[in-house]
Amino acid sequence: MIEGESILTERGRKAMQNAGWAETFEGAREALKRWWHIIWTSLIGLVIGIVPGAGAAIASFVAYQQSRAFSKTPELYGTGHIEGLIAPESANNGVTSGTLVPLLVIGVPGGATAAIMLVVLQYQGVTVGPDLFMESPELAYGPFMAMAVTYTIMIFTIFPLARYMSRITVVSTTYMSPVIISFTLVGAFVPREYMFDMYLALVFGVIGYVARKTGYHVAAILIGVILGPLLEGYFLRALKMSEGDLMVIFSSKLANVLWGFLVISFVVPYVMDYRRKRRQEQAASAE
């Protein structure tokens, strides 16, 4: 952003100046055309949200990576491709409902928002757990219904405002960049209130900049940084519980299903890339 005068291209700036309600509805139509993409990336967010301690950040990056891996046009990702925008946002919304499952059933928050809800429920004397659904079903199912109503209301409130809220994209990066960097540093400082975390954010900012300039995928790096500590912690815990037996990671039917999905997520992109190259070669030879 700092390298350019605007996050929009010259064509994008002209389009934004002339944008009206027609473009707003066109954006909605483009999203609805990709209803299946919205559904399966939302399910990724839902599943990750159910996993205790995962949260929206992991879901967003995983959904983006999976969307790109299974896309017929992965080269368009990172250029404003609409599917690259749909995937993380759909997963982010899916997480919101998923985090309520471990929160209300076992009392373990799935993310920061769920953790705040847990504090509020405990302050009000509500004991979360399986008994909550039997003893106080109105409290257990209330958040789910409230979220459904909220999303419905948002259609009629946020949608009309989208035309005006999008105007922020025309603000010069001279003003946008310092504001974004400031919020990023504050966000890094707040959880633990360590100055070290602010320096760490700057270091990873430089790493991300170098990665973009050299062709590395920043989303993949972030997934590794976020999932790495969780993977290590759960792996060591599993080894302790199984007394060092590595086969414990294949001892559950659910885990084996997830292993299968993992293998598929690795293999399918290569298969699709191979088929895409074959089609291009055939088209070139036909010409």
3-state class of 274 per DSSP?
A: helix
Q: Residues 28-53: pLDDT tens digits?
A: 888 888 889 899 899 988 888 887 66
Q: To the nearest whole percent, how much of the chain has pLDDT over 90?
A: 5
* pLDDT recorded at residue 198: 92
Radius of gyration of the CA atoms of the chain, in A: 22
**pLDDT surpasses 70 at 112:** no
CA–CA separation, 230 vs 226, rounded Å? 7
> Above 80 in pLDDT, residue 265?
no
pLDDT digit string, tens, across residues 177-225? 889 999 999 988 988 888 999 999 999 889 888 988 887 877 677 767 7
For range 136-154, the mean pLDDT: 83
Give mean pLDDT, residues 68-81: 80
Residue type at position 262: L
Q: H helices then E strands: how many in the chain?
A: 13, 0
Tokens of 117: 């809800």
Give yes or no for a contact between 30 and 192, defined as CB atoms under 8 angstroms apart.
no
pLDDT at 111: 66
137 confidence band (pLDDT: 50, 70, 90):
confident
What does the pLDDT read at residue 185?
Answer: 92
Q: What is the pTM of this model?
A: 0.64
Mean pLDDT score, 141-157: 84
Rounded distance between C-alpha atoms, residue 1 and residue 175, angstroms: 11
The torsion region of residue 53 among left (phi > 0), alpha (psi -120 to 50) and beta comes to left
Tokens of 22: 């027609």
DSSP summary character for residue 129: S
